[in-house]
Amino acid sequence: GWVEGQLPEALADVRPVVRRLEHELFVAQAELARSPHLPPPEHRIEARHVTTLEGEIDRFSDAVGPLKSFVLERGSPPASALHIARTVARRAERELWALHRLEPIRPEILHWVNRLSDLLFALALYANHRLGIPEEPPDYSQ
């Protein structure tokens, strides 16, 4: 919800993607919080969800064009919010892999979380691009 609240009208095409991700996150966390001894939940993250993320990564990345270097995680408020969300998703992915070593997690969830962070990165770049804010490469001389 926080990322969606940062989206101006110029990024109206991002809003339904962010809303869907919020629902999918709820489905994923509900499955992860469930005891493995219970029957599987009715709604689960499946391969089709991963495929959808990959299509969106391509769509938003193609709109921006290829990166020429690494970029700092900054820019517009929506891009900054998306970068923060991406960082949280990456941290969650690392925690899920640690948990997976102790208690198996379905591969679809692991793949989905990995692609989620990639989509959030693509959306952050797209937000800056659409709002006319150039990406800034890191200054390695600092």
- Reading the chain (142 residues) residue by residue, the pLDDT tens digits are 889 999 999 999 999 999 999 999 999 999 898 877 788 777 899 999 999 999 999 999 999 999 989 998 889 999 999 999 999 999 999 999 999 999 889 999 999 999 999 999 999 999 999 999 999 889 898 7
- pLDDT reported for residue 39: 80
Q: Is residue 112 part of a domain?
A: yes
Q: Is residue 141 part of a domain?
A: no
Q: Is residue 100 part of a domain?
A: yes
Q: Is residue 55 part of a domain?
A: yes
- pLDDT reported for residue 86: 97
| Counted domains in the chain | 1
Retrieve residue 30's tokens: 């509900």
Contacts of 131 (CB under 8 A, 6+ apart): 8, 10, 11, 75, 76, 78, 79
Q: Is residue 81 part of a domain?
A: yes
Residue 48, domain extent? 2-35+44-64+72-130
Q: Is residue 29 part of a domain?
A: yes
- pLDDT reported for residue 98: 95
Retrieve residue 130's tokens: 């659409």
- pLDDT reported for residue 108: 96
